[in-house]
Structure 1
Amino acid sequence: MSAGHAGSGRPLPRLLLLTDRAQLAKGRGLAATVRECAAAGLEAVVVREHDLDERCFGALVETLLAVPGLTVLTSRRPHPGAAGLHLAAHQPAPTTGRFGRSCHDAGELARAAAEGAGWATLSPYAASASKPGHGPVVDPGLLAHPGLPIWALGGIDETRAADALRHGAAGVAVMGAVMRAREPAGVVAALLAALDGADR
C-alpha cells in the first residue's frame, strides 16, 4: 500500500486525503469523517483548514493524531506532532523537518526536488469540482520524476487513480471527491481498490 519516501520518515501511502471541512455534507464533522475513512483503509491525511486559528488548528491536528494507524501531515503551517509539512508552491522550504510541496508544472517539480522535498503533489491532474477553472491540466508524463515521489491531485476518481499510477505516480491525493461524498468511507475504499488493481 505504500509508495515513495518522504524524507527520512516512513513511506507515504498511495492515497492522501486533503481536508476541507467547508465541502462536507451538512451535519458531518471533519474529525468523524476522517475516522470513518481511516476505518476504511485510509493511512494518511493532510490537514488544511487554513482559516482556523492556531488553537483550533492545533486541537484538530491533535484529535487526528489519536486515530490509530493514521499518518497526519499539515498544510502550510507546521505542528510538532505531525509527520511532515505540505507546502504551497510559493512557500520557502523549511531548514529542518520532513516536507513536501504542491506543484503545478515541471519547473516547480524541479525546484521541489532540488530543495530536498520528500514528495510533491501535481495538480490539476484533471478538471476538479473543488477548483473549477483551475488549470490547464498537467502533462501526466510529469508524474514519473526521478528521485521525487509525486501524487496526482485534482479530479481524481477510480479510473484516474489507476491511470495516474500507470503514468508513474507514487499515488494520488484527493479532497472534494471524499469531502463532498455522502459516504466518504466508501469513496476511500473504492479508490484503494482501484490503486491495488492498477498493479495487477
Structure 2
Amino acid sequence: MSLPSPLLAVTDRHGHARPLAATVRAVIAGGGRWIWFRDRDLPPDERRRLGETVADTVRAAEGFLIVGGDPDLAVILGAGGVHLPGGAPVSPVRDRLGGVLLGVSAHSLREVEAAALAGADYVTLSPIFPTASKPGYGPALGPEAIAAARGFGIPVVALGGIGEGTLPACREAGAAGFAVMGGVMHGEDPEGATRALLAGWADRGIV
C-alpha cells in the first residue's frame, strides 16, 4: 500500500490558541493530506469527541486520517488507518480492520525489523534529529539509521527534528516520507509551513 502523502502531519492541540480542527484544515489546504490524530493525553470520551471533529474536518477536505494507538476509535471515526506504538501486536489489528493503512512507531532498527516481519505497511523511525518532543527515546539516530532501516523492505517515515534544513539528509538516506508535529501545528501559518515543507521535498525530486 502506498503512502497517502510524503508528509505525515501529527496533531497536537497544544501550543496555539486556534482550534485543532482549524489547524488541520489549514494543513490540508497546504497540501498535507495525511493526518495522524494523536492527542492521546485526553480522557477517552474527550478524545473521541475531538477525534470526531478532526475526522469530519479531514473528510470534508478530502484528506486521509489515521488514528494513533486505538483501533476501536479508528473504527468509530471511519479512519483510513491506525498507527500503533512500538511493540504493539500488529496481526490482531490487521485481522480486525483488514486493508487499512497500518503503521508502527520504531525507535531502533530492531523495532523496524519487528514491524516489517509483523506485516506493518510503514514505520515512523525516531528521533532522527534532536527534538524536544522525543526526550525519552535517547540520542538522535541520525539519517544513517534510515538507510539501514530500508534494508528491511518497509517504507520508513522520518520523525524527529524534521524541517526544511534536514529534509535533504532524509531524502538522501532513502526515507519514504517525513512526519512533522510542531513545525505545522504550532506556528502562525500552518498552511504556509506545510506548503514550504512539501515544496522542499518536491524540489529535491521526491514527490
Does the pair score TM above 0.5?
A: yes
Q: Which amino acid aligns with 1:86?
A: H
Q: Percent identity?
A: 38
User: Is 2:22 the partner of 1:32?
Assistant: yes
Tell me what 1:59 maps to: 52
8 Å contact from structure 1 (residues 152, 164) kept in 2: yes
- Secondary structure of the residue aligned to 2:158 is strand
Q: Residues 32 and 57 from structure 1, CA distance in 2 versus in 1: closer, same or farther, beyond 3 angstroms?
A: closer
Distance 1:143 1:115 in 2: 19
Q: CA deviation at 1:133?
A: 6.2
From 47, 50, 62, the equivalent of 2:37 is 47
Which protein is richer in helix relative to its size?
Answer: 2
Q: CA deviation at 1:36?
A: 0.8
Q: CA deviation at 1:89?
A: 0.6
Q: TM-score, normalised by structure 1?
A: 0.87
RMSD: 1.8
Q: Residues 60 and 91 from structure 1, CA distance in 2 versus in 1: closer, same or farther, beyond 3 angstroms?
A: farther
Q: Residues 100 and 30 from structure 1, CA distance in 2 versus in 1: closer, same or farther, beyond 3 angstroms?
A: same
Tell me what 1:17 maps to: 9
Q: TM-score, normalised by structure 2?
A: 0.84
Q: CA deviation at 1:142?
A: 2.9
From 116, 126, 131, the equivalent of 2:119 is 116
Q: Residues 131 and 95 from structure 1, CA distance in 2 versus in 1: closer, same or farther, beyond 3 angstroms?
A: closer
Task: Describe the superposition over 1:100-133 as per-residue Cα deviations: whole angstroms up to 9, x where unpaired.
Answer: 1000111000000000000000000111132346
From 55, 72, 79, the equivalent of 1:82 is 79
Q: CA deviation at 1:68?
A: 2.3
From 191, 196, 200, the equivalent of 1:194 is 200
8 Å contact from structure 1 (residues 128, 155) kept in 2: yes
User: Is 2:88 the partner of 1:91?
Assistant: yes
Tell me what 2:165 maps to: 159
Tell me what 2:108 maps to: 105
Distance 1:69 1:92 in 2: 30
8 Å contact from structure 1 (residues 151, 172) kept in 2: yes
- Secondary structure of the residue aligned to 2:120 is coil
Distance 1:38 1:193 in 2: 14
- Secondary structure of the residue aligned to 1:38 is helix
From 180, 183, 188, the equivalent of 2:189 is 183
Question: How many residues get paired?
Answer: 190
Structure 2 gap ranges (5+) = none
8 Å contact from structure 2 (residues 156, 177) kept in 1: yes
Distance 1:122 1:67 in 2: 30
Task: Describe the superposition over 1:151-175 as per-residue Cα deviations: whole angstroms up to 9, x where unpaired.
Answer: 1001111021232011100010001
Distance 2:58 2:33 in 1: 12
Q: CA deviation at 1:179?
A: 1.7
Task: Describe the superposition over 1:44-71 as per-residue Cα deviations: whole angstroms up to 9, x where unpaired.
Answer: 0000011332432442343234232211
- Secondary structure of the residue aligned to 1:102 is strand
Distance 1:123 1:189 in 2: 23
